[in-house]
């Protein structure tokens, strides 16, 4: 996961997107599948794992801490876990690459084991705030030495037995919630997290599925999640559903490019993840759910999405946690709507793989779209369905979602959109560009 040479890419209008696309495994669920399997006693099997760089960083880290993780030729992953409490001291620093989820969740795991780990990452990850996990994990007894500003590289010394805590999440973050719950797995007694606003609940679902004693209670203060520590996890066969955050690019692409008609298969529809679909429907998108089913304990459907005229909206801020990764794609949809879309209440976008408010304002602006930046969001003036001017350079800033969102914008532009580096898409969707070429009826480049 060393910094590769940038790989610039040009995206141009090539007509409608048609056909069938199957989205890859969910990134959040894939991380958790590897981590929990590595903590179960015995052999787990994971089908549909996302084989992107972020998830591979988690796999490498779990191997470095004692788990045996193998991929067979048919794409099924087999994990022999070490048991809760059984993680080993890694011999070298854990290279987290670009992955905030790997970093924060693994910090939680290490916090309650009698081991010390050093976490390093790329330039993007090394700028991201870790104080939000350092704070609760320190209360549980972990000893953390971080770089200035609470960033990577950092060294975390776990404590065993750790101190179970009750923690009110100060920020709507599934990563912080999960870090505390995972630390609680090996702490004696009950660890409790109270989240005022619901965030993605994959950790809760999967911990319960692996046999941890976990309860969720809705109270006037929010959701109270309690986990009993020193748990014994039972190995599982896991099928990872498709990632709605990856499906989002195709939903937006089909909606904005005239003549498009796509069947997007295997889209996870966990209600804590469906904000983009809700917002697109408010804008007038034509999205039909087909063959609703349950995969790996999560609701899944195929989505038929056809081009439709979009209208500007005020994006309901309460949707933010359920579409936090999808704002860049939504901003692109807004660039083709009639009227001015305003999204506020999304301050967290400033601390993702890049500052996504600034990155999208710059990228859209360079391609002739008028935007107005707020501290907590963006306003975008749409074209009313006309192509955007294009011909602008996009700084993708080591951020996969900026690269894919602006690639989608280039599909309905008068002149090509130029990405300075398409490499980051490999973190979450390595097959994105070949898939795009297929939907446009061309062979991969
Ligand atoms: C994730 C939680 C979210 C999301 C990230 C994945 C997870 O981050 O943006 O891509 O898997 O728990 P925050 O917890 O920082 O909101």
Cα(3) to centroid(ligand 1), Å: 23
For residues 82 and 174, membership in a common domain is answered with: yes
For residues 99 and 66, membership in a common domain is answered with: yes
Q: What is the per-residue pLDDT for 34? A: 98
Contact indicator for 270, 200 with CB cutoff of 8 Å: yes
Domain boundary among 217, 239, 261: 239
Which atom, in ligand 1's list, is nearest to the CA of 31? 11
* Beta strands at 377-381 and 388-390: parallel, antiparallel or unpaired: unpaired
**Does residue 398 lie in a domain region?**
yes
325 is catalytic: yes
Q: What is the per-residue pLDDT for 4? A: 76
Which atom, in ligand 1's list, is nearest to the CA of 177? 14
For residues 253 and 145, membership in a common domain is answered with: no
For residues 226 and 269, membership in a common domain is answered with: no
For residues 188 and 334, membership in a common domain is answered with: no
Q: State the helix-helix crossing angle for 174-185 and 27-39, rounded to 10 degrees.
A: 10
Domain boundary among 213, 239, 265: 239
Which atom, in ligand 1's list, is nearest to the CA of 203? 12
Which residue in the list 302, 325, 399, 421 is annotated as catalytic?
325
Cα(268) to centroid(ligand 1), Å: 16
Cβ neighbors of 219 (< 8 A, separation 6 or more) are: 194
Cα(379) to centroid(ligand 1), Å: 23
**Does residue 444 lie in a domain region?**
no
Residue 200 among known ligand-binding residues: no
Cβ of 28 less than 6 Å from ligand 1: yes
Low-confidence spans in the chain with pLDDT less than 50 = 1-2, 443-445
From 173, 204, 244, 320, give the residue whose CB has the most ligand 1 atoms within 8 Å, as the site to mutate: 173
**Does residue 376 lie in a domain region?**
yes
For residues 157 and 272, membership in a common domain is answered with: no
Q: Model-level pTM greater than 0.95?
A: yes
Residue 265 among known ligand-binding residues: no
Which atom, in ligand 1's list, is nearest to the CA of 28? 11
Residue 66 among known ligand-binding residues: no
Residue 340 among known ligand-binding residues: no
Cα(28) to centroid(ligand 1), Å: 8
End-to-end CA distance of the chain: 24
For residues 346 and 370, membership in a common domain is answered with: yes
Q: Which two tokens stand for residue 7?
A: 């790989």
Contact indicator for 117, 190 with CB cutoff of 8 Å: no
Cβ of 200 less than 6 Å from ligand 1: yes
Which atom, in ligand 1's list, is nearest to the CA of 132? 15
Cα(27) to centroid(ligand 1), Å: 10
Domain boundary among 185, 215, 239: 239
For residues 221 and 256, membership in a common domain is answered with: no
For residues 317 and 225, membership in a common domain is answered with: no
Q: Which two tokens stand for residue 121?
A: 């990452």
**Does residue 425 lie in a domain region?**
yes
Residue 442 among known ligand-binding residues: no
Cβ of 26 less than 6 Å from ligand 1: no
Residue 60: CATH number of its domain: 3.65.10.10
**Does residue 2 lie in a domain region?**
no
**Does residue 191 lie in a domain region?**
yes
Cβ of 112 less than 6 Å from ligand 1: no
Nearest CA to ligand 1 atom 16: 173
- Give the distance from CA 317 to its chain's centroid: 19
Q: What is the per-residue pLDDT for 3? A: 58
For residues 283 and 419, membership in a common domain is answered with: yes
Concatenate the DSSP letters of all residues of 102-144 into one string: HHHHHHHHHHTSS-EEEEE--TTGGGS--HHHHHHHHHTT-EE
CA distances from 171 to 175, 221, 269, 347 (A): 10, 14, 23, 10
**Does residue 55 lie in a domain region?**
yes
Cα(177) to centroid(ligand 1), Å: 10
For residues 212 and 281, membership in a common domain is answered with: no
Cα(173) to centroid(ligand 1), Å: 6
Beta bridge partners of 79: 44, 69
**Does residue 3 lie in a domain region?**
no
Nearest CA to ligand 1 atom 9: 325
Q: State the helix-helix crossing angle for 100-111 and 53-64, rounded to 10 degrees.
A: 20
Total count of domains within the chain: 2
Q: What is the per-residue pLDDT for 437? A: 95
For residues 224 and 345, membership in a common domain is answered with: no
Domain containing 355 equals 9-25+241-439
Cβ of 206 less than 6 Å from ligand 1: no
Residue 236 among known ligand-binding residues: no
Residue 356 among known ligand-binding residues: yes
Which atom, in ligand 1's list, is nearest to the CA of 175? 14
């Amino acid at each position: 996961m060393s910094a590769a040479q940038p790989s610039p890419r040009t995206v141009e209008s090539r007509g409608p997107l048609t056909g069938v696309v199957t989205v890859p495994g969910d990134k959040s669920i894939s991380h958790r599948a590897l981590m929990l399997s590595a903590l179960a006693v015995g052999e787990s099997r994971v089908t549909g794992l996302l084989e992107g760089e972020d998830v591979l960083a988690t796999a490498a880290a779990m191997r470095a801490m004692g788990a045996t993780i193998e991929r067979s030729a048919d794409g099924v992953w087999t994990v022999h876990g070490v048991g809760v409490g059984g993680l080993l001291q890694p011999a070298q620093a854990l290279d987290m690459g670009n992955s905030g989820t790997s970093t924060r969740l693994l910090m939680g795991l290490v916090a309650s084991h009698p081991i010390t780990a050093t976490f390093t990452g790329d330039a993007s990850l090394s700028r991201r705030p870790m104080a939000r996990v350092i704070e609760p994990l320190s209360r549980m007894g972990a000893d953390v030495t971080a770089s200035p500003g609470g960033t990577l590289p950092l060294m975390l010394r776990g404590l065993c037995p750790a101190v179970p805590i009750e923690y009110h999440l100060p920020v709507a973050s599934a990563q912080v919630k999960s870090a505390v719950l995972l630390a609680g797995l090996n702490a004696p007694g009950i660890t409790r997290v109270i989240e005022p606003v619901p965030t993605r609940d994959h950790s809760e679902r999967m911990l319960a599925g692996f046999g941890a004693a976990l309860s969720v209670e809705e109270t006037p203060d929010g959701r109270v999640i309690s986990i009993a520590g020193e748990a014994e996890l039972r190995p599982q066969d896991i099928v990872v559903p498709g990632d709605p955050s990856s499906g989002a690019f195709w939903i937006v692409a089909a909606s904005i490019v005239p003549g498009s008609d796509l069947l997007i298969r295997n889209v996870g529809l966990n209600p804590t993840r469906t904000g983009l679909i809700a917002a697109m429907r408010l804008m007038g998108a034509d999205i039909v759910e087909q063959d609703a089913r349950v995969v790996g304990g999560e609701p899944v459907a195929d989505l038929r999405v056809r081009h439709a005229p979009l209208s500007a909206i005020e994006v309901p801020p309460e949707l933010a946690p359920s579409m936090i990764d999808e704002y860049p794609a939504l901003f692109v949809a807004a660039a083709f709507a009639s009227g001015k879309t305003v999204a506020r209440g999304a301050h967290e976008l400033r601390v993702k793989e890049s500052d996504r408010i600034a990155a999208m304002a710059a990228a859209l602006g360079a391609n002739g779209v008028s935007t107005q930046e707020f501290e907590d969001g963006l306003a975008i003036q749409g074209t009313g369905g006309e192509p955007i001017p294009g011909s602008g350079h996009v700084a993708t800033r080591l951020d996969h979602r900026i690269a894919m969102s602006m690639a989608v914008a280039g599909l309905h532009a008068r002149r090509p959109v130029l990405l300075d580096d398409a490499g980051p898409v490999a973190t979450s969707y390595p097959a994105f560009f070949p898939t795009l070429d297929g939907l446009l009826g061309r062979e991969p480049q």
